[in-house]
Amino acid sequence: MKVLGIESSCDETGVALYDSARGLLGHRVHSQIDLHAAYGGVVPELASRDHIRRLPLLVRETLAEAGCALSEIDALAYTAGPGLAGALLVGAGAAEALALALDVPALPIHHLEGHLLSPLLAADAPDFPFVALLVSGGHTQLMRVTGVGEYELLGESLDDAAGEAFDKTAKLLGLGYPGGPQLAALAATGSAGRFRLPRPMLNSGDLDFSFSGLKTAVLNVVSAPGWQAADAADLAADFQQAVVEVLVRKALAALRSTGLQRLVVAGGVGANRELRAQLDRAAARRGWRVYYPEAELCTDNGAMIAFAGALRLAAGAGGSREGRIAIRPRWPLAELMRP
Amino acid sequence: MIDRIHPADDNGSPLCMHLATEAETAALGAALGNALHAGLVIYLLGDLGAGKTTLVRGLLRGLGHRGSVKSPTYTLIEPYVVSRLNLYHFDFYRFNSPDEFLDAGLDEYFGGQGACMVEWPGKAAPHLPPPDLEVALSLAGTGRQVELKAGTEAGRRCLTELSNALRAPPAPA
pLDDT band at B169 (very low <50, low <70, confident <90, very high): low
A223 is in an annotated binding site: no
Residues in B touching A46 (Cβ below 8 Å): 96
Whole-angstrom distance, CA of residue B62 vs CA of residue B66: 10
Whole-angstrom distance, CA of residue B111 vs CA of residue B84: 17
- The domains of chain A are located at 2-116+297-335, 123-292
Q: What is the mean pLDDT of chain B?
A: 87
Kindly determine whether residue A44 and residue B76, on different chains, have CB atoms separated by under 8 Å. Answer: yes
Give SS3 for A319.
coil
Helices then strands, each counted (H, E), chain A: 10, 10
pLDDT of residue A206: 95
Kindly determine whether residue A161 and residue B74, on different chains, have CB atoms separated by under 8 Å. Answer: yes
Fold matches, A2-116+297-335 and A123-292: yes
Q: Is A155 on the interface with B (CB under 8 A)?
A: no
B4 has pLDDT over 70 = no
Residue type, A316: G
Q: At what angle do helices B153-167 and B22-34 cross, to 10 degrees?
A: 120
CB A117 within 8 A of CB A304: yes
Positions in chain A short of pLDDT 50: 39
Domains and their CATH numbers in chain B: 3-166 (3.40.50.300)
What does the pLDDT look like over B145-159, one tens digit per residue? Answer: 999 999 999 999 999
Could you tell me if residue A330 is left (phi over 0), alpha (psi between -120 and 50 degrees) or otherwise beta? Answer: beta
Residues in A touching B24 (Cβ below 8 Å): none
For residue B11, the distance in angstroms to the closest alpha carbon of chain A comes to 33
Q: Of B141 and B21, which is predicted with more confidence?
A: B21
Give SS3 for A75.
strand
Q: Of B74 and B34, which is predicted with more confidence?
A: B34
What does the pLDDT look like over B96-143, one tens digit per residue? Answer: 788 878 767 788 889 888 999 999 999 999 999 999 999 999 999 889
Whole-angstrom distance, CA of residue A236 vs CA of residue A189: 9
pLDDT of residue A100: 96
For residue B117, the distance in angstroms to the closest alpha carbon of chain A comes to 16
Per CATH, which fold does A2-116+297-335 belong to?
A: Nucleotidyltransferase; domain 5 (3.30.420)
A81 is in an annotated binding site: no
Q: Detail the DSSP E strand segments found in chain A.
A: 2-7, 12-19, 23-31, 75-81, 106-110, 130-135, 140-147, 150-156, 262-266, 289-291
What pTM does this model have? 0.82
Give SS3 for A135.
strand
User: Which of B57, B71, B94 lies closest to A41 in CB terms?
Assistant: B94
pLDDT of residue A318: 85
**CATH H-level superfamily of A123-292:** ATPase, nucleotide binding domain (3.30.420.40)
| ipTM of predicted complex | 0.73
CB A223 within 8 A of CB B139: yes
